[in-house]
Each structure stands twice: as structure tokens, then as C-alpha cells.
Structure 1
Amino acid sequence: MSAVGYARVSTSDQNPEAQTDALRQAGCERIFVDHASGVKASRPQLDAALDYVRAGDVLTVWRLDRLGRSLPHLIEVVQGLGGRGVEFRSLTEEIDTTTPTGRLLFHVAGAFAQFERDLVRERTHAGLAAARARGHVGGRPTVMTPERLRQAERMREDGQTIEQIAGVLGVGRSSVSRALSRVQSPPSS
């Protein structure tokens, strides 16, 4: 079993030494360090650390927020590690999935993350339903204004292709195609 460390500081001006010292003290033989904001999806050293660890290894961080962009992301990363036989340890929060208590704590955190996602989804659906009930339609406004649609219909009758019409109107082919198909086969009530 090998302890592998991961540290992250938000900017290149910040110093990761406090984290790396704690990781070395915890027995990490190899430490990967990113200089990137936690919200950035691209963290090359995290990717390298995840590629480096093998079954039986323990990925160790100084604090949970150094690893995950969000709680759902953190859960996803740690579950991915677990699926590969790699354990996880956070020094500050004392979460250690090599122990039954650590696994329990992590699963409780995961349950709260899932609960939060479900609540957000529920509120979003309720908000969209309320907006529809008030007559609001979501999404972007169509680029095919009534004038453009009339011009597209005339051009189509003159034998122009969808690509030619789209070029003249300055819109995408799919917008022209969708608009013309709705006119040719109006929705049934």
C-alpha cells in the first residue's frame, strides 16, 4: 500500500508547502500539486494523480476542498477511486475510507449531496411548471422570425436548398429545416 498525496493552491502566488509538509508527514511518497482554482475543470496534476494510483493505494489530501470542485464532484472522484480499489484520506476532516467509520462518514456526505441534487431538480421542475402555467415558454427565442420564415418559404418554392436558404438568411441549416417542417406539418391539437 502506497500513500499518494494531492495538493492544490488557487494561484501560482500561493505556496503549497503547508499542504505538502502535512502530506509528507502522513507518509505520502509521491505528491502531485496543482496551481489552479478549485472551480476549474482542468487540473492536470489531479488527472496525473488519478492515473498514477493503483489498487491498494491511498490518495491523501490535506483538506476535502483541495480535491473536489463541489460535493457532488468530490463524491464522484472518491467513488471512482473506490471502484478501482484505491482508498481515500483527508487529513483535516479525518475521513479515511480504509476504516469502517471513514467509509460511513463519506457515505453520509454522499447521501447529503444526492439529497441536495434531488432538491435542486425538484425546485427546477416546479419553477418550470409554474412558468409554463403562466404562459412563459423557456429556451432561446427562435432566430426564424416570421419575416425570415416567409422568405425561407418563398426561396424553397423557388427550388433553393436548405443550405442556400440558411446562407442567405444568416442562420443555421437546422433552424431553417425545423421552421419549414413545422409549417409543412402543423402540430395537431
Structure 2
Amino acid sequence: MSKIGYARVSTSDQSLDVQIEKLKAAGCSKVFSDTATGSSTNREGLVNLMAYLRSGDTLVITRIDRIARSVLDLQQLIKQLQEQDIAFSALEQPVSTDSASEKAFLDMLAVFAEFELNIRRERQLEGITAAKKAGKYKGRKPLSESVATQVKQLYAERTSVSSIARTLGISRNSVYKILKSS
């Protein structure tokens, strides 16, 4: 019988504060949150939220795109909530799962959220292609030979890949690439 909120922003540059304030003002007794892309459903806050919700609760979000970016993801979430007798509502959009017309409107909003995500991806790829043609996009600079030498030396001394990465301030993947190329 509790209202439980969920807030999400895409990057650490963005703030969750406004969403959390709105959810608490709407009567949410607890708010789960994530700082992660919406195209991923494997978010810690969302996973914890789903484990926390109980029959009779209401999941409250500020907007549809905060919880799902595709129609399929939203429909699967709604189905899971309905199977557990959990209601769903969005504060900034007049949607809930209470009636057929509200469910239809919810699906339409999900279509637009997915469309927006796809358009953004297309623009990003177009920008990268244009930057490559202009010679401005060259990817990440390769690691220096001194770093590669240090990696090889530490590995020869039986230092773990994780320790090498931590010591040199590089990723484990970079360590593996250097070791593979030698």
C-alpha cells in the first residue's frame, strides 16, 4: 500500500534532486535511483526497486523515459508489475495502468521515447562519421611505449592484471591488449 518512487538520470553531470523532490512530494515513502543510460535495464537501483516492491504498492516515476526507453521494455515491466499486483503511474504524464485507455496512452509515450533514443543515436553516428571525414575524430591515443614496457615487466614479475591496471592507472582491457600484442 506504499508509493515507491524511481528516479534516473543518464550521466553524473545531471542531478537527481528535482525528480526525487517531486516523488517525495507525491507521497513516495522510498525512492530508488540510478545514474545510468535508460537503454539498459540492468541498473542497480531498478533491480533493487523491483526486489523491494510488494503487492498493493504503487511504482511512481516522473516521466516514462526515466524507467524505459523501448516499448518492449515498458511492456515487460508493466506486465511484471501487473502480475505482482503493483500499480504504476507517472507524475508528468497522465498515465497509469488502471484502464485500457491509460494503458494505450502509456504505450504511445513509450513509442515516442524509443523514437527519441533512436534519433539521438543516429545523430551521434552522423556526427562521428563527419568528424572522421574531417580528420577530427581519431579515437583514443595509444598508450606510450614506457607504459607497455611497465605492463610487460610487472606481468613477468607475476603481478596480477588487476594490480597492474591499478598501479599504472589504466584499464584491465588495456593490460590484456598490451600483453596480447607482445
Determine the C-alpha separation between the residues in 1 that align with 2:114 and 2:124. Answer: 15
**1:104 is matched by which residue type in structure 2?**
A
Tell me how many residue pairs correspond in the alignment: 150
The Cα offsets for residues 114-134 of structure 1, whole Å up to 9 and x where unpaired, read as 001101111111112222223
Matches within 5 A, 1:50-65: 51-54=52-55, 57=56, 59=58, 61=60, 64-65=61-62
TM-score with structure 1 setting the length:
0.53
Displacement, 1:105?
Answer: 0.9
From the superposition, tell whether residues 162 and 124 of structure 1 become closer, same or farther in structure 2 (CA, over 3 Å): same
User: 2:98 aligns to what SS in structure 1?
Assistant: coil
**2:49 is matched by which residue type in structure 1?**
D
Determine the C-alpha separation between the residues in 2 that align with 1:133 and 1:114. Answer: 29
Identity of counterpart residues, as a percentage?
17
Q: Name which one, 1 or 2, has greater alpha-carbon Rg.
A: 1
The Cα RMSD (Å) is 4.6
Aligned residue for 1:141? 141
Displacement, 1:18?
Answer: 5.1
Displacement, 1:107?
Answer: 0.7
Displacement, 1:78?
Answer: 7.2
User: 1:53 aligns to what SS in structure 2?
Assistant: coil
Aligned residue for 1:6? 4
Displacement, 1:92?
Answer: 6.4
- 2:79 pairs with 1:82: yes
Aligned residue for 1:32? 29
Conserved 8 A contact 1:72-1:113:
no
Unmatched 5+ stretches in structure 1 = 21-30, 185-189
**1:33 is matched by which residue type in structure 2?**
K
User: 1:6 aligns to what SS in structure 2?
Assistant: strand
The Cα offsets for residues 84-110 of structure 1, whole Å up to 9 and x where unpaired, read as 424423466432222111011111110
Unmatched 5+ stretches in structure 2 = 7-15, 37-42
